[in-house]
Amino acid sequence: MKLGLSRRELLASTGAALGAVIVTGTASRTTLGAEGKTGPRWGIAVDIARCGNQSGCRACIDACHAAHRVPQIEDARHQVKWVWKEAFARVFPEQTHGWETDAHQQAPVLVLCNHCAKSPCTKVCPTGATWRRSDGVVAMDEHRCIGCRYCMAACPYEARSFNWVDPHPSPNPGNYPARTAGVVEKCNLCVERIDNGQIPLCVETCTGTGAGALTFGNLEDASSPLRRLLATRQVLRRRPALGTEPRIFYLV
């Protein structure tokens, strides 16, 4: 069988095509909006025991969901969640061994977007509808989102929710922008408050109840209460092996 194309020709053209793809790919990666080199880097520490002791407490969840007009949906398949509680064994499967008590395994742990320093969701978004701000907050523009849900597939924390149904069937009060069905949303670490010099609502609410389980702070500031906690307490992060560098820390 005679080849119509010499092997050299074929290799050369394939190589050239591959090279072009790689060059354009790497060139564009360097121009991607990165975090600022200086300035604050926000994070939250969750004291698992203090939060868990407040059995049935939903103060931070309700405050957040009301302020951000998070749709309340009955059907578990379609729920939208910014901050919620999951069983310890689900949140930290690598930290369970099966010999602990059921109560320990089922202990509720507060979960929310981890605002990862290496966020997979922002990497895969095809429209830049979600991005990492210079202060490390993973932000979301529900009005640019095309609803492809690639970010949901990429998030290793199930922190993203899709509006499967109309989120605002009846007008509900609040200043937070309304969104439509067909877009993804998630915790925004209260950027609207941070930019006004306030701390996130969940942290403020938790402090208000006296539980004091949440600590917000600047990771770049060595004297911040957050940094002191991280330096002195035993700390867990969710699925650290994936290299996403979560900025939500769990104090054991």
Partner 1 sequence: MLENRRHRLLAWTFGTILVGLLVLGSVAYATQSRTGLGVTGLSREMPWGLYISQFTFLVGIGASAVTVLLPYYVHHQKVFARALILGEIVAVIALTLALLCITVDLGQPSRLINILLYPAPSSLMFWDCLTLGGYLTLSVVGLAATLFARGAAPAKWMRGLALATIPWAIGIHVVTALLYAGLAARPAWMTAILAPRFLATAFASGPALLILLAGVLARAKVFDIGREAVERLSIIMTYAAAASVVLAALEAFTATYSGIPAVSEHLEYLFLGLDGHFGLVAWTYASWLFVLLALVVLLVPRLRQRQGLTYAATAAVLLSVLIDKGLCLVPSGFVPSPLGHVRDYRPSLIELAIVAGIYSGGALVFGAACRWLLISDVPSQSTIHALNPPPPTAREPGMATAAQMEN
Enumerate binding residues for partner 1 (CB under 8 A).
1-5, 10, 13-14, 17, 24-25, 28-29, 32, 75-79, 86, 89-91, 93, 111, 120, 123-129, 144-150, 152-158, 161-166, 180-184, 239, 242-244
Minimum distance between the CB of residue 148 and partner 1, rounded to whole angstroms?
6
Minimum distance between the CB of residue 180 and partner 1, rounded to whole angstroms?
7
Q: Of 40 and 182, which has the nearer Cβ to partner 1?
A: 182
d(CA 167, CA 117): 29
> 147-173 burial string, b = 16+ CB within 10 Å, else e?
eeebbbebbebebbbbbeeebeeeeee
The residues near 246 (Cβ < 8 Å, ≥ 6 apart) are 114, 115, 116, 117, 157, 237, 238, 239, 240
Q: Of 27 and 222, which has the nearer Cβ to partner 1?
A: 27
Paired tokens of 73: 């949906």
Q: Of 52 and 120, which has the nearer Cβ to partner 1?
A: 120
Minimum distance between the CB of residue 11 and partner 1, rounded to whole angstroms?
12
Q: Which of these, 147, 138, 154, lies nearest to 186 by C-alpha position?
A: 138
Minimum distance between the CB of residue 240 and partner 1, rounded to whole angstroms?
12
Amino acid symbol at 226:
L
How far CA 177 is from CA of 46, 85, 119, 141, in Å, comes to 28, 25, 24, 10
User: Across-strand partners of 214?
Assistant: 46
Minimum distance between the CB of residue 150 and partner 1, rounded to whole angstroms?
6
Q: Of 43 and 167, which has the nearer Cβ to partner 1?
A: 167
Minimum distance between the CB of residue 193 and partner 1, rounded to whole angstroms?
26
What is the number of other CB atoms lying within 10 angstroms of the CB of residue 38? Answer: 8
Q: Of 28 and 196, which has the nearer Cβ to partner 1?
A: 28
Q: Of 124 and 230, which has the nearer Cβ to partner 1?
A: 124
Minimum distance between the CB of residue 22 and partner 1, rounded to whole angstroms?
12
Q: Of 2 and 37, which has the nearer Cβ to partner 1?
A: 2
Q: Which of these, 65, 250, 68, 219, lies nearest to 137 by C-alpha position?
A: 219
